[in-house]
A and B are shown apart, each in its own frame.
Chain A
Amino acid sequence: MAGASKAVADSRANLPFVYRQYSAEQLKQVLYKMYLIRRFEEGAEESYMRGLIHGTMHLSIGQEASAMGICMPLGEDDQITSTHRGHGHCIAKGAEVKRMFAEFFGKTTGYCKGRGGSMHIADVAKGNLGANGIVGGGIPIAVGAALSSKMMKTGKVVVSFFGDGANNEGAFHEALNMAAVWKLPVIFVCENNGYGMSTSTARSTAVKNIADRAAAYSMPGVIVNGNIFSEVAEASHKAVERARAGEGPTLIESKTYRHRGHSKSDRNRYRTKEEIEDWMSNRDPITLFENELREFGFIDGPGIEAIREAVAREIADGIEFAKVSPSPDVRETGNYVYTEQA
């Protein structure tokens, strides 16, 4: 327990997991990053509206606690595969927002040098093996990364993020089965936000909970409230310990909600305004975490204000960095198709 004295530890004994496990500084950093994810996506959305970003994007606003909670127990060497709704995962794993903005703006300073955009954002140096435009595409790849970890004895744990939609893809089932048969150090994280594009899980999925599917692959299936940071982090912590001990994979279902539509083309006709409003007003993950931090005395009003201001500065600087960065040369369109060889 970094930084917490025995007296402090005793005073925290009845608090939820993360308040026992992490220092006040670490927890404030989590709040900072949750705001960073939120403001990054709002900044990206605004830049899109102003015509500075083309294509489309899939915002995870409302799912910040899930990304942060899962990544909390991971080390820098641990790896993740992410999804089309992956900005939060990328930031939670340690990416810099300025290089993410640069990627969205299609600039050479972006993580993918302007070749990937929102749907392929990656930060390999920090262990993010990439978002994925194919639903379920990253799940077998994560199992492969976990196989590498086992074969090379690196001790790395791999997390595969995917949505509720992916649990009906064949890749999900094939990957979970192999990971269980081979006892690989991988954690499957289903961020169930209730809808695969417009189709609710009730209409698409035969089981009530996606975690129920874990039983078919002889692994623990854990359901957490994805909007409560501590719940998510605790489940992730246990799954990481299990993976590192060589006991195999875990399926975590993180029940959450996206405030925005599926993508920029969404008219939100499949859900009610009341439903959206309820999640935004009563179950916002940042508000819930902030309230807990205050209640348990980890932060005060000015402390929160300082975080919000620092995040706003980082976002503004990031957008400016993206704007002034150079665009790729069209003569280099053919680069990176193959590995350049001497």
Chain B
Amino acid sequence: MDAMVRELSYAQAIQEAMAVAMDMDERVFLMGEDIGVYGGAFQVTGDLVDRFGTERVIDTPISELGGAGVAVGAALTGMRPIFEFQFSDFATLAMEQIVNQAAKMRFMLGGEVSVPVVMRFPAGSGTGAAAQHSQSLEAWLGHVPGLKVIQPATPYDAKGMLLAAVADPDPVMIFEHKLLYKAKGPVPEGYYTVPIGKADIRREGRDLTIVATSIMVQKALDAAATLEAEGIDVEVVDLRTIRPMDRQTVVDSVKKTSRLMCVYEAVKTLGIGAEVSAMIAESEAFDYLDAPIVRLGGAETPIPYNPELEKATVPQVPDIITAARDLVKGVR
């Protein structure tokens, strides 16, 4: 019998995934700042503390480095911690434990240990929180062998990928765009997983491949709907995982459409778009390209406070429409 499917918000889907994981496995527990009675800065853990108690929903002091290290140590010794950063920006305070310890422990010890820690990072701009609470740092962590880095774009994927992350024996970093928390979508009850390392073709098309991540997936789909009226048929690939990246799905899509655009919120240079572009340039899909590759990414600035400026620093639907139109029509 198929599981009941309801409409849940992205935040509710994550909360449900954590509850399912904790019900299934007593080794799973939550750590983070104000995730208990407060419910988390974005109410993602919500009332889980009432159900699972303070022993399994642990409020940490404001100690990102130490807290991340405790999660790593617990994972190393048999537990399955899910560690919430209050904002993804605070990963900067914990990079030592993430990059030097969690990512490398298994390798440095010759395969004698695994570090099954899950870290959740509320990310992205659009909340008026300015430069230190709005960054998209996923590519930083995507550069580190030993980590897996995912960016679910829908409530369905947010639940399924979190459950896959908890089951994964290695450290998984989940970047959750804060503006997605209220987005709704169908989510089955109970346990299911969405595989890490597999992209998803969210819309099939013939004229152009848009590889998008996180909140940019929906923006690309909105742009595609407008472009369809103009006779431009866009394929939207939701990358979902940035390490390990699903090369084959992107290559196959570009071979079909002969045009590639990458859309992501993080700063444009040295980011995911560069990686996807290079991946295509190095692949058999290169010969299929009918036009130069286009990247739409964040501006080369910190995220500003003023709402108009803030919007202007990251790609918006009209930007995608214009760039896609120019790309397909050969306007450069």
Contacts and interface: CB of A to CB of B under 8 A. Distances in A.
A5 interface: no
A151 B29 contact: yes
B112 A141 contact: no
Nearest to B148: A338
Contacts of B231: none
Contact of B66 (A113, A124, A143): A143
B74 interface: yes
B66 A337 contact: no
A152 B108 CA distance: 26
B73 A339 contact: no
Interface residues of B, number: 41
A174 B109 contact: no
B69 A140 contact: yes
Contacts of A252: none
A143 B66 CA distance: 9
A338 B112 contact: no
A325 B170 CA distance: 30
Nearest to A170: B65
A73 to B, nearest CB: 20
A4 interface: no
Nearest to B55: A151
B66 A175 contact: yes
Given A79-B77, A137-B96, A144 B108 contact: no
A175 B79 contact: no
B181 to A, nearest CB: 28
A130 B67 contact: no
Interface in A82-133: 110-116, 120, 122, 124, 129-130, 132-133
Given A112-B110, A178-B66, A336-B110, A141 B170 contact: no
B113 interface: yes
B320 interface: no
B61 A151 contact: no
Contacts of B107: 115, 336-337
Given A174-B63, A174-B65, A337-B107, A145 B170 contact: no
B79 A148 contact: yes
Interface in B67-93: 67-79, 81
Contacts of A293: none
Q: B63, B106, B108, B111: which has the most chain A beta carbons within 10 Å?
A: B108
B110 A178 contact: no
A81 B81 CA distance: 19
Count class of interface residues, chain A:
35 or more
A133 B146 CA distance: 17
B111 A140 contact: no
B65 to A, nearest CB: 6
B77 A144 contact: yes
B143 to A, nearest CB: 14
Contacts of B75: 144
Contact of B73 (A114, A116, A143): A143
B73 A141 contact: yes
B114 interface: yes
Interface in A160-179: 170-171, 173-175, 177-178
B100 interface: yes
A337 B148 CA distance: 11
Given A133-B100, A140-B97, A336 B111 contact: yes
B56 to A, nearest CB: 8
Q: B60, B71, B112, B114: which has the most chain A beta carbons within 10 Å?
A: B112
Contact of A339 (B61, B71, B100, B114): B114
A181 interface: yes
Given A133-B100, A144-B76, A175-B66, 7 more contacts: A79-B77, A111-B109, A120-B109, A137-B96, A144-B73, A148-B77, A339-B106
18 contacts: A111-B109, A115-B107, A122-B108, A122-B109, A129-B76, A130-B109, A134-B100, A137-B97, A140-B69, A140-B70, A140-B97, A142-B73, A147-B73, A151-B29, A151-B74, A152-B79, A335-B111, A338-B146
Interface of B: 27, 29, 55, 60-61, 63, 65-79, 81, 96-97, 100-101, 105-114, 145-146, 148, 169-170
Closest 8 CB pairs of A and B: A144-B73, A140-B69, A174-B66, A113-B110, A141-B73, A112-B110, A339-B169, A174-B63
